[in-house]
Structure 1
Amino acid sequence: MLRVICSRVFVDFRRTMASVGKYVGTTKRGLTKEFSVPVPWGEIAGKTWGDEKNPPIICLHGWLDNCNTFDKLIPLLPQDFYYVTFDVPGHGLSSHFPKGSFYFTAAYSSVLKRVIDHFKYDNVSLMGHSMGANIATYFGAIYPEIVSRIIAIDTAGIWFRQKEDLITGLRSCIDTHLAFETAEPRPEKEYTYEQAKGRLRAANKNLNDESVEILLERGMRELDNGNFIFRRDIRHLFKDPLERGFETSLTIAEGLKADIFFVWAKKGLYKIIKERYPDIAEVHKAFQKNTKSFSYVEIAGNHHLHLCTPEESAKHITEFLRNHPVQKEGENGNGSNL
């Protein structure tokens, strides 16, 4: 019943806001609650959906997005879970990493562990889109006793750099970061709201107008003059210090023990990855061999199918959650499956 109510509120709200032309986020609608985790460099900002007594599903967004990316998907999923979403550092409302730092998967995994520790969880399910799904599988291999299920949306799961690109990629990463730090500081480019929408839509043709507005809510900061600047850390556009080759990625994949479910878009990123990097099939064989279960579905849509056309994704994710339950402890010590 709660799922139906939330879905109706969500639809009715979209219709109302379409008439006034301005998007107001899920927190302002009373559907979510903001939280903040203090960290040595600032804070990790996020929001939660549902009853905190329910089993947690931590949601990880993709590169240059923010946690609003799940705004249209979560209302369509089972409401007997507690959905925890947060902005990865350098995205949305979360603090940027300090100067001199790199953004890379191990660092993101450390942030995820901080969030898990903040909520005092000893077992979680993870749902990630693109980069977020790569973080989820990487973290699940490092902490297999914590992660029971992984939902990976339009990604390969474990990323690696081709052997011939390994050294040049690391060098490019170091040189670009050092050049950035020593360059003359430039003011952030300002945009009107409509200009910002056009800028994001042009940079990511997978998005539609509504999804652009959803992401911009946490992705921009309004200035005193009424213009906007993007919140993302420009360093996310630089090469990351990825030093994993194919063999190392296989080792990581072998450490994953959770139930894992991939949702791949027929016109998405994974289609490009498997054509460009055929070795990724071996990584998935490692998943199949070592995880509790490995399954996938390929459905219509583009890379942001969970945001632009979420209904089909929600149907398959719901089925996966129901078919791979985890134990929820009741007050009387008896468990129920969720």
Structure 2
Amino acid sequence: MSAQVEEVRLSLPHIELAAHVYGPADGHPVLAVHGWMDNAMSFARLIPKLDGLRIVAVDLAGHGYSDHRPPGTGYLIWDYVYDLLHVANQFGWERFSLLGHSMGAIVSTLLAGTVPERVQRLALIDAIIPHTSKPEAAPQELAAAFESLMAQKGKRRRVHESLEAAIEARVKGKVPLNREASELLAQRGVMPVPGGYIWRTDPRLALSSPLRLTFDQAMAFVRRVTCPVNLIVAEQGYLKRIPHALEPLRGLPIDIVEQPGPHHLHLESEAGAQAVADCFNRFFRTA
């Protein structure tokens, strides 16, 4: 990101979050929401290419420079919605738009469906519908979540012997990235500790979800969105790996655009970031 970026700390009633603020003070207000295990640097290549926007790129709780949730609590997806509403209120934004990638796109959709009167535009990258489960699976999923939470007690965090090793671990992670993208995320995601380096992300982020929405519940949020929606689908990304993932969106007023590239197409290359920026600049100009 350029020198125009301002680093801020946001003291919410229940947690303190970190964020980047970018763009003209009178620009269209946008909350940028990164994906699981990423941080605000997810938008480092994209944000400078967006025009006329006042963007607050947040490190979600448990990520980057933001605080972790208190002991005894977890990372329910709707808690992020609550956090972001507080962030918007702190900036005095009665109405604002959302730019989300992956889990951040899902959180953005949930927010826009929860308070549709407050969201003006929804710009999404490679995700939209929350992960779902069948109702009969809920008891087993809750049991598995409790088991994983109890097994977490006393578990030591992985310490990488060098910064290079930490970056390489992210390259080969559950959601693989190229090296340039991993290096960008490491700028606010890795910290030195005795014996080496660790990723700042809260280990509890990897725990099983205790409860998921049913498909009908998830689609109720999507259908309640009233603002214009622009969804970019990466041709080698997440949505393309799920059979019929876009079928539930047919007939809804959602502009779906396919772009070449992987799940992190906006971060892994300048060309990918420019392609996403071109699409979203057109989208926001019609506001």
> Same fold judged by TM-score > 0.5?
yes
- Give the deviation of 1:161 after TM superposition: 1.9
- Give the deviation of 1:175 after TM superposition: 2.1
Instruction: Give the CA RMSD over aligned residues.
Output: 1.9
Secondary structure in 2 aligned to 1:159?
coil
Unaligned runs of 5+ in 2: none
- Give the deviation of 1:188 after TM superposition: 4.6
Q: Which residue is 1:254 aligned to?
A: 223
Q: Structure 2 length as normaliser, TM-score?
A: 0.92
Matched, 1:244 2:213: yes
**Runs (4+) of structure 1 moved beyond 6 Å?**
none
Q: Which moved more, 1:300-309 or 1:250-259?
A: 250-259
Q: Which residue is 2:130 aligned to?
A: 158
1:222-247 CA-partner distances (Å, limit 9, x unpaired): 2366x321100011111122331111
Q: Which residue is 1:135 aligned to?
A: 107
1:35-76 CA-partner distances (Å, limit 9, x unpaired): 111135541000111122212111000000001000001111
1:292-329 CA-partner distances (Å, limit 9, x unpaired): x4101011000000111212111111111123x1xxxx
Residues in 1 aligned to 2:95 and 2:154: alpha-carbon distance in whole angstroms:
46
Unaligned runs of 5+ in 1: 1-25, 326-338
Preserved CA contact (<8 Å) 2:125 2:232? yes
Structure 1 272/166 Cα, relative in aligned 2: closer, same or farther at 3 Å? farther
Structure 1 162/305 Cα, relative in aligned 2: closer, same or farther at 3 Å? farther
Q: Which residue is 2:162 aligned to?
A: 192
Preserved CA contact (<8 Å) 1:263 1:298? yes
Residues in 2 aligned to 1:281 and 1:163: alpha-carbon distance in whole angstroms:
21
Q: Which residue is 1:299 aligned to?
A: 259
Q: Which residue is 2:179 aligned to?
A: 209
Residues in 1 aligned to 2:28 and 2:161: alpha-carbon distance in whole angstroms:
41
Preserved CA contact (<8 Å) 2:131 2:212? no
- Select which of 267, 279, 282 maps to 1:316: 279
Residues in 2 aligned to 1:88 and 1:67: alpha-carbon distance in whole angstroms:
8
Residues in 2 aligned to 1:60 and 1:113: alpha-carbon distance in whole angstroms:
12
1:189-246 CA-partner distances (Å, limit 9, x unpaired): 2430111111111115642221111000111112366x32110001111112233111
Aligned counterparts, 1:44-123, within 5 A: 44-78=17-51, 80-123=52-95
Residues in 2 aligned to 1:203 and 1:137: alpha-carbon distance in whole angstroms:
26
- State the one-letter code of the partner of 2:8: F
Preserved CA contact (<8 Å) 2:170 2:176? no
Structure 1 224/279 Cα, relative in aligned 2: closer, same or farther at 3 Å? closer
Q: Structure 1 length as normaliser, TM-score?
A: 0.79
Preserved CA contact (<8 Å) 2:109 2:128? no
Preserved CA contact (<8 Å) 1:41 1:97? no
Aligned residue pairs total: 284
- State the one-letter code of the partner of 1:131: M
Matched, 1:267 2:236: yes
Residues in 1 aligned to 2:254 and 2:99: alpha-carbon distance in whole angstroms:
15
Identity of aligned residues (%): 28
- State the one-letter code of the partner of 2:115: Y
Secondary structure in 2 aligned to 1:199?
helix
Secondary structure in 1 aligned to 2:282?
helix
Secondary structure in 2 aligned to 1:203?
coil
Secondary structure in 1 aligned to 2:3?
coil
Preserved CA contact (<8 Å) 1:206 1:304? no
| Larger Rg over CA atoms | 1
